[in-house]
Amino acid sequence: MGGADKFNNQQILVVGATGALGGAIARQLKVEGADLIVSGRDQRKLAALTAEFAGSSLSVDLSDSTGCAQLAEAVGELDGVVYAAGVAPVVPVRYLKDADIEACLNLNTTMPLLLIRELLKKKRLKTGASIVWISSVSSARGTVGYAAYAASKAGLEASARCLALELAPKGIRVNCIAPGMIETDMADATAERISDEALAAHLKAYPLGAGQPTDVAAATSFLLSQESRWVTGITLPVDGGFSI
């Protein structure tokens, strides 16, 4: 099943919808018939998304568990949850600040887990719901300057595997997507910190070249849908062959 009937008015929450990946995911799900609730940090983009979808948006501070509780309180029963929020302090370890490490681990690893905790406590996840967390290929492959970010994403994937086992009796699936180099603002900011030669060398590691946000959106749609009903606890690389 595809097109506007794929999600048939299912309620799906997209956290981090104002980012490039989150926005692409939200747009694809909307085209495929989902009723969206979007959340993000950029108020201007969030307002534009809400107007575009004629849907609902929620602005919460996800710096601590209070924001997760507020988000869980505000939504109804959900068929799907996408967590696409994240930060990437890309610098050598000797230059990492305490606050950068804490913010990275908090937003990328702790908050998605606490959000699911609050949604479960409020009984917001329907039987058969699907949870998709956006990770990164850096979780499994060493890259200079990515120590904090890679640690946060590796922790995210480990949590997802445990959560998949815990929620399987309820028919709730939990999976991650690990994008490689996607043309986004975050990637552009990273490229500004390295030389053109280093960037060119990195891109050579991608047999299919750099990806687009729509590539991640398509994979997310698959993992949210019943097309992947027998898939849980995995991390799906969407990386143009980088991992091989």
List residues with catalytic annotation: 149
Residues 143, 203 contacting (CB under 8 angstroms): no
Residue 70 exposed, middle or buried by CB count within 10 Å (0-12, 13-18, 19+): middle
Question: How many Cβ atoms are within 10 Å of 202's Cβ, its own excluded?
Answer: 17
Q: Alpha-carbon distance 244 to 221, whole Å?
A: 24
- The residue type at 1: M
The C-alpha R_g of the chain, in whole angstroms, comes to 17
Residue with tokens 């994008």: 179
SS3 string, 122-148, reads CCCEEEEEEEEEECCHHHCCCCCCCHH
